[in-house]
Structure 1
Amino acid sequence: MLNIADTLHRWCREARPFALATVVDVTGSAPLPVGTSVAVDEDGNAVGSISGGCVEGAVHELCRQVLHDQGPPQRAWFGYSDDDAFAVGLTCGGELDVVVQRIDPATQPHLGAALAEVAGDRPAAVAQVVDGPDALIGATLSVLGDSSIADATLAAEPTGQAVADRATAQLRAGRTALVSLGGDADTCPDRLCVLVHVAATRPRMLIFGAVDFAAALSKAGRFLGYRVTVCDARPVFATATRFPHADEVTVDWPHRYLEHTEVDGRTAVCVLTHDARFDIPLLRLALDLPVAYVGAMGSRRTHDERLRLLREQGVTEDRLARLRSPIGLDLGARTPEETAISITAEIIARAHRGTGRPLTCTTGPIHRAPA
């Protein structure tokens, strides 16, 4: 539901009931991930998409029915078959498991609080029970970025604390997920399947080296949703004017900045200076941090010399294996803009376990679970 947070926040402010259809499981080449939602209000206005167009008509009608009947949540499955693929099936060959429920903002004020946080670009999570005892299906609970639990229909249940703990953990990890809970008489007696919708803060892209390639990469990173920082020790080059797409431009020694800034498992570190004075202390530190990606620009000759110097600094082989250098995928890139696409393509491939090969040369599912 957080993919349409802005509109849902407005509907909650207006106390406008709506039906929410949410993808709770996908298999095959389903186009959109778990947690993606469509919402339909009482006037038939719709927002969002769960299939890229394949089943939107059928989902819209199911939402209208659930909203009108004011009954319990309904489960629907959409898959591929020769008979109905172009009617209500997925022409791409995937399968979607969808839960549709009626939301009345007046009775679930915590949803409005969570949606307000997300609309304001602040982190929040909403846990939604999608399977379990009939009385709990559709129950929700919200966790805000400061780990506080908003008033929720689920909070009063014996299982509420277990759900809240898991939602808090998913929020810290920054990942929407379908989780199973229950079976423990002391903490969560009911067996539940809970979809935890997460809107985390933007992942960070740290670009070291205030060069032309950094300007193009900062633009590409911003387009992909990263919070981009450009850092360089030379104040004449590290200026906001040269990097208008960066969220932050910092003048500091790269390793000193990295040592004191906040990173997590989604952070991409891109070293574009190809100057050993900056690169070696920076990479020595970066390769020890729990970040998603560490890449360094330079020729193969520069890379070999860089590895030699890092080994002299005591960097182990398993740490060196994390280094993506020369940086980027082999796209034949030459310009800064092409190189930025090459780098971001490699970052995407690493995040989603992609091969980097043309899809025409691969088999099996196009979409993979996140690494």
Structure 2
Amino acid sequence: MLDLIPSLGPWMPRVAGRRFAVATIVAASGSVPRPVGTSMLVTEAGEVLGSLSGGCVEGAVVALAQEAMDDGATRLETFGFSAADAFAAGLTCGGQLDIHIQPVPAAKPGEAGHPLRAALLRLAEASPDQPVALVRELGDAGGGAVVLSDPAIFRLAASPELGALLHGEPALQVESIVRGGGTGLVRLSQPRDCPPDRTGAGQPSGERAILVESRLAPPRMLVFGANDFGAALVPAAKLLGYHVTLVDARPAFAGQPRFAAADLIVTDWPHRYLAAEAAAGRTDTRTMAAVLTHDPKFDIPLLETALALDLAYVGAMGSRRSHLQRVAELLSAGVPPERIAQLHSPIGLDLGAVTPAEVAVSITAEIIAARSRAASCLPLRETSGTIHQHPTRSHPAPAPAPADVDKQEIAWT
């Protein structure tokens, strides 16, 4: 649902006082285009906001949403691939989705009415990058919804609405997901005493569950080096949703208009700035650092500082020869070998990148692979298994040990 926030503001007036339905992916397996928590809104006039599968099942979901609005009953529908029925709505990619459909009844003028309608009105007021969480109850008595404005410091005890609903292990799970900025379904062991709802495929929707969607403030990308490569990486990192800071000690370089896409431009010695940010608590295990200065007087003290912190990613530009020199200097400075092994250097994946724009793609590709713990980065046609895995993003595993020097050096030394 949270991915619809940028569009909710202009969309909600269309359903002011009117019926609509919310269709949400609550379970996904195999190769599926969108993860759990993805939602699509359907009005009684058949208007649609959002998408669940890129087109495979949307038509069938709209029809089920219309039925749900007519009878007021929730639905739980499973969509997968069926070779036996070529005309059935399903996923051609071979995965399987469970989609929960919640009807929202009409509301009286001036009233929010249904809790989910009230929650959507609150989400419509949020900015695209604002930290926020939505906690919803699914099942026979589904529809309860609570919006949390500061998920990073959320405590269940501070929310009477959720405290009355959750106890024991489910409460701890919900709190953990909210505070971690994640998405997940928490099943409740005791269903309420309510008559069963009808479902699109005869599946029981009586099991109570809590769907949690949470997002924290955007993670930081620290780009060190006001050069051609930094100018290409800044907008590429913005596309990935990072809050981007460009750092360079030289005012004449950092002040160039080509870096205007950065959220913040800092003129300071890189290692001094990073140490100050860490001391102020403005770096964390989601922070990425790309060292593009390619100058030992900047690189070595900066990498000493960066490798002493628990950052998600530290990469440094340079050839394999310069990397080995860098490793020797870091060892001499007392940096533990296991910390050096976490350094992504030479930075980026081997894509044959040459131009600054291509190098930016190489770097961002490695960042995506690192944060999702991708075991290999081969062309999809040369791999097998699930394509859309939607992994839980966490601190990346340590990088491999430094490569042998006899391998071909990259072009941008």
- Band of TM-score, shorter chain: 0.7 to 0.9
SS in 2 for 1:119: coil
Moved more, 156-165 or 23-32: 156-165
Q: CA deviation at 1:112?
A: 3.8
TM-score (norm 2): 0.79
Give per-residue Cα distances to partners, 1:187-244, cap 9 Å, x unaligned.
Answer: xxxx953221123322221100111100000011112221111001111111151302
In structure 2, the residue matched to 1:263 is 283
Give the counterpart of 2:313 among 275, 278, 293.
Answer: 293
Determine if contact 2:174/2:186 at 8 Å carries over to the other structure.
Answer: no
**Distance in 2, Cα, partners of 1:303 & 1:270:** 14
State the aligned residue count: 360
CA shift at 1:168, angstroms? 4.8
Instruction: Identify if the C-alpha distance between structure 1 residues 70 and 41 changes in structure 2 by more than 3 Å, giving closer, same or farther.
Output: same
State which drifts further: 28-37 or 137-146.
Answer: 137-146
Q: 1:309 aligns with which of 329, 333, 353?
A: 329
Counterpart of 1:119 in structure 2 is: 127
> Which of residues 172, 176, 179 is equivalent to 2:179?
172
Q: Contact between 1:17 and 1:42, CA under 8 Å: does it hold in 2?
A: yes
| Residue 285 of structure 1, CA deviation | 2.2
**Are positions 1:202 and 2:218 aligned together?**
yes
Q: Pick closer, same or farther for the CA change 1:86–1:145 going to 2, 3 Å.
A: farther
* Whole-angstrom CA distance in 1 between matches of 2:98 and 2:168: 27
- Relative to structure 1, the CA distance from residue 123 to residue 161 in structure 2 (aligned partners, 3 Å threshold; closer, same or farther) is farther
Residues 317 and 92 of structure 1: is their aligned pair in 2 closer, same or farther, counting only changes over 3 Å?
same
Cα pair distance change 1:332/1:312, threshold 3 Å:
same
The alignment partner of 1:332 has SS state of coil
Aligned pairs for 1:18-97 within 5 A: 18-71=20-73, 73-84=74-85, 87-97=88-98
1:5 aligns with: 5
Q: 2:253 aligns with which of 221, 226, 237?
A: 237
Question: Pick from 307, 324, 332: which aligns with 2:352?
Answer: 332
Q: 1:356 aligns to what?
A: 377
CA 85–149 in structure 1, closer or farther in 2 if over 3 Å, else same: farther
Which deviates more from structure 2 when the two are superposed, residues 48-57 or residues 162-171?
Answer: 162-171
Residues 167 and 233 of structure 1, relative CA distance in 2, 3 Å threshold: farther
Q: Flag the 1:287–1:75 CA change in 2: closer, same or farther, 3 A.
A: same
In the alignment, structure 2 segments of 5+ residues that lack a partner are 106-111, 191-206, 394-413
Residue 7 of structure 1 and its aligned partner are, at CA, apart by 3.6
The residue that corresponds to 1:347 in the other structure is 367
1:117–1:124 Cα contact (<8 Å) kept: no
Displacement after TM superposition at 1:121 (Å): 3.0
Correspondence 1:220 to 2:236: yes
User: What do you get for the CA RMSD once the two structures are aligned?
Assistant: 2.7
Q: Which has the larger radius of gyration?
A: 2
User: How much identity, in percent, do the aligned residues show?
Assistant: 46
Q: Does 1:370 align with 2:370?
A: no
> Where do 5+ consecutive residues of structure 1 fail to align?
184-190
| Amino acid aligned to 1:328 | G
Structure 1 segment 270-285 matched on structure 2, within 5 A: 270-285=290-305
Higher mean alpha-carbon deviation, 210-219 vs 61-70, is at 61-70
